[in-house]
Structure 1
Amino acid sequence: MSRGLTFTRLADLAHPIGTGMPRWPGDPPVTFLEVACREEDGYDLRAFAMGEHGGTHVNAPLSFLPGGADVRAAAPWPLLLPLAVLDLRGRAAADPGAHCAPDDVLAWEAAHGRVPRGCLFVCNTGWHHLWREPERFMGVQWGALRAGPGDAPPMVFPSFTPDAVHLLVHERGAAGIGIDTHGVDAPDDAEFLCNRMALAAGAVVVECLAGLDGLPPTGAHALLAPLPLCGGTGAPVAVTAFIP
């Protein structure tokens, strides 16, 4: 509020954390364990466990870069950033492997002006609507269509291209990139180039965003507050949008 931020409504851009939610292959599932109950202890208490990159989360440089900062040192949290939202839903509906490429960023600028310096640039692919269908969210069924005989089906979902990330963080000065799929990188990019490029430039990376449909292309702000995990390679993050 000290910046004179005004808004008419708030929106939660993080998915609820629960068992059965989509997760990267090999990541641990979300588990809950009853530790105390009111009948015996006078209060209810559960322990829970999940991967640091589960649910709506930020990635820390430590996850991809030698000597990188952990999640606590990655940014001056909580972080308030202007939001720029690219609507990729139409193309992603026709092609589950659609990419946000430099031409998409330039087309966005032709319609809405130059990408604001210091913004969080987010792709709305519509994938957040598949959150309750983990196999569809991870694109396993589309991968099965592309797999050869006897091959394990790869994952297929929309993402950024490294060239688009370079344009955003190096040429436009974006402070972060985000997407509503499980990765800013294409799932077949074993080098995670988009993550590496953004994090090496000091930008924030947010994945598995929710609730993007109600956001305007410009004018909103996002407040990001991850769990301050000591040594965290990433962390679940609360993301609140302030919408004018």
Structure 2
Amino acid sequence: MKMVFIPLFTCIALSCITSDISAGILEKVMDGKASIIDLTYPLNEKNAHWPVGAYEPFKYEVIASLRKDKVFSGKYSTPEHLGTHIDAPNHFEPNQSSVDQIPFEQLVGPAIVINIQEKVKRNQDYTLSAEDILHWEKEHGTIPHGAIVLLYTGWSKRWDNNEQYKNMDNCNRMHFPGYSKEAALFLIQQREIKGIGIDTLSGDCGMCSDFQVHHIINGAGKYILENVANLDKLPPKGIILILAPIKIEGGSGGQCRMWALLSE
């Protein structure tokens, strides 16, 4: 892990968090010794996009070059929900916050990582259960109030191969892991989380066409982080997550830069 200097905005962000974990990280930030992991995939035309509806691939075009125009510039087009991105609460529920309305304090907080990759190896449609969460807590302690829960499924190993990442069968149904309805309800009702994240295309499993997890999480005014990178590099806890989503007025989500600051 690379040791880097963390800018002032990070210090301000951490000052909004009062946990012992954040205090330890803040001390390292002030000493210029914090460890940081970028959880964001670069945007490019190879990024997997949702295979139904009007979703299109990311497109980038150079509109000015240094050689010809003495300045380099480009333009791009992309669905909101492509690459490493955030699903705002209004993505699936009316009368909820759009991406530009998510308050700053909700975009910074303690994070935990639940690893289910061994179960996914046995069942590619596996969904995180409430029992899985309790098993994690038995080993690592209760999920802190206001946490962001990240689910590592191992699916990110397929990121560079769109066909394997979407994993569609002959009936055009995708197959990949996700959260269960029960897990989503438990996290909202019993743990009062800020949001959830996952290293797949969706918080719901690939076969879950009713999107119950989205309705539960978004319906509670919370967000979902999708296509999160480098979760395999994070410990189960001792993490502060910083999110910087694009600010689209009225948007249902958008590309989001994500950093994990580690306390160890």
Scaled by the length of structure 2, the TM-score of the pair is: 0.85
Task: Determine helix, strand or coil for the equivalent of 2:36.
Answer: strand
The CA distance in 2 between the partners of 1:107 and 1:78, in whole Å, is 26
Q: How does 1:136-175 map to 2 (within 5 A)?
A: 136-140=164-168, 143-144=169-170, 152-175=171-194
The CA distance in 2 between the partners of 1:190 and 1:84, in whole Å, is 27
Deviations 1:23-53 (A, max 9, x none): 1113111111121112221111110111100
Moved more, 70-79 or 223-232: 70-79
Q: Is the contact made by 2:89 and 2:222 (CA closer than 8 Å) also made in structure 1?
A: no
The CA distance in 2 between the partners of 1:99 and 1:63, in whole Å, is 21
Moved more, 28-37 or 50-59: 28-37
The CA distance in 2 between the partners of 1:74 and 1:64, in whole Å, is 15
Give the structure 2 partner of residue 90 of structure 1.
Answer: 118
1:29 aligns with 2:57: yes
State the 1:12 CA deviation: 0.4
The CA distance in 1 between the partners of 2:37 and 2:214, in whole Å, is 26
Deviations 1:130-177 (A, max 9, x none): 11001111122xx34xxxxxxx23100010001100001111111111
Structure 1's consecutive aligned runs of 4 or more residues displaced over 6 angstroms after TM superposition are none
State the 1:70 CA deviation: 1.2
State the 1:188 CA deviation: 2.6
Give the structure 2 partner of residue 39 of structure 1.
Answer: 67
The CA distance in 2 between the partners of 1:5 and 1:31, in whole Å, is 42
Q: 2:234 aligns with which of 204, 207, 215?
A: 215
Amino acid at match of 1:237: C
Identity %: 28
State the 1:78 CA deviation: 7.4
Task: Determine helix, strand or coil for the equivalent of 1:198.
Answer: helix
The structure-2 alpha-carbon separation of the partners of 1:153 and 1:191, relative to structure 1 and needing over 3 Å to count, comes to closer
Q: Is the contact made by 1:13 and 1:210 (CA closer than 8 Å) also made in structure 2?
A: yes
| Structure 1: stretches of 5+ with no match in the other structure | 145-151
Coordinate RMSD, CA, aligned = 1.5
Task: Determine helix, strand or coil for the equivalent of 1:10.
Answer: strand
Amino acid at match of 2:229: A
The structure-2 alpha-carbon separation of the partners of 1:22 and 1:77, relative to structure 1 and needing over 3 Å to count, comes to farther
Q: Is the contact made by 1:77 and 1:224 (CA closer than 8 Å) also made in structure 2?
A: no
Give the structure 1 partner of residue 6 of structure 2.
Answer: none
The structure-2 alpha-carbon separation of the partners of 1:192 and 1:137, relative to structure 1 and needing over 3 Å to count, comes to same
- Which protein has the bigger helix share? 2
The CA distance in 2 between the partners of 1:127 and 1:214, in whole Å, is 14
Give the structure 2 partner of residue 69 of structure 1.
Answer: 97
Matched residues, number: 235
State the 1:92 CA deviation: 1.0
Q: 1:234 aligns with which of 235, 242, 253?
A: 253
Give the structure 2 partner of residue 181 of structure 1.
Answer: 200
Task: Determine helix, strand or coil for the equivalent of 2:104.
Answer: coil
| Structure 2: stretches of 5+ with no match in the other structure | 1-10, 18-22, 29-33
